[in-house]
Homo-oligomer: A and B are copies of this chain.
């Protein structure tokens, strides 16, 4: 009924607890015969080592924790899954938590931390990175601390591509729809958009073209309906694909055709952007590469280096038919 412990196995096998521990850890300190006997008993009793005890003793858990703002949407889930797959190959267990960084990260239950799209004041992140002396990777923040690396998207380049595309579009009356204002990526994209708007449009009215869409397709559906009815804008730069879909929805509800009557571009290349009609022009970051880089940095930090490092991923433009080119 109760969990089997080393002690019980030791009693049955008529050896000491230490011997059982050695045997199950395949230490050479135990003879083959005894080892086999002990292992058999352990298997029979369905023995599972108590991780709490193990961690308490060893301070090393092979457990890595990933923090996301939410499991919802087409982005976070994909990215965590990629990371999970790589860690699994290396016999590491990835745990995901959503919301705030839980206390157990600060204890010895977890070996390291991966932060994706955490939305909070950077001060807290900074504090955590600073006094958490474990490998920590930020994927959507830039925070310099020991044992910390940042593996982030080069958002400026992505925005540049999108502006270039839209500048070749027949539709030029541009509307920029941002995501959650607390999101690092949204902030970076906004900053880059400001820069390239000026460069491409030579106007100072950037702010009047910007709307907050909160990464939510329903919000952009409402916005889109309004603007399309009034003919305010005919080109939409959305900071993620989901919001772009909201514009699609608005367009079709008003019998307008994306790629004909209006242009739409998105961000992230989520799977829907290829499935939807017309295909959505979007910015892609290879999630597998991203995940590999994250895990790579993780083990680099773990093994020795602890200097802060920042790695930028170069995004790629995926051209589809949501933009009618001149």
Contact = CB atoms under 8 A, between A and B. Distances in A.
Nearest to A103: B48
Interface string A89-130: 000011111110011101111000000000000000000000
A308 interface: no
B245 A275 contact: yes
B63 A71 contact: no
A173 interface: no
Interface stretch (A20-28, A76-84, A183-191): A76-84
A200 B196 CA distance: 59
Interface stretch (A35-43, A49-57, A230-238): A49-57
Interface in A46-77: 46, 48-53, 55-56, 63, 70-74, 76-77
Interface of A: 1, 3, 46, 48-53, 55-56, 63, 70-74, 76-78, 80-81, 84, 88, 93-99, 102-104, 106-109, 131, 133, 217, 221, 242, 245-246, 248-249, 252-253, 271-272, 274-277
22 contacts: A1-B133, A3-B108, A48-B107, A49-B107, A51-B104, A51-B108, A52-B52, A52-B55, A52-B107, A53-B56, A70-B81, A71-B76, A71-B78, A71-B84, A72-B78, A94-B97, A94-B98, A96-B96, A217-B275, A246-B275, A248-B277, A249-B275
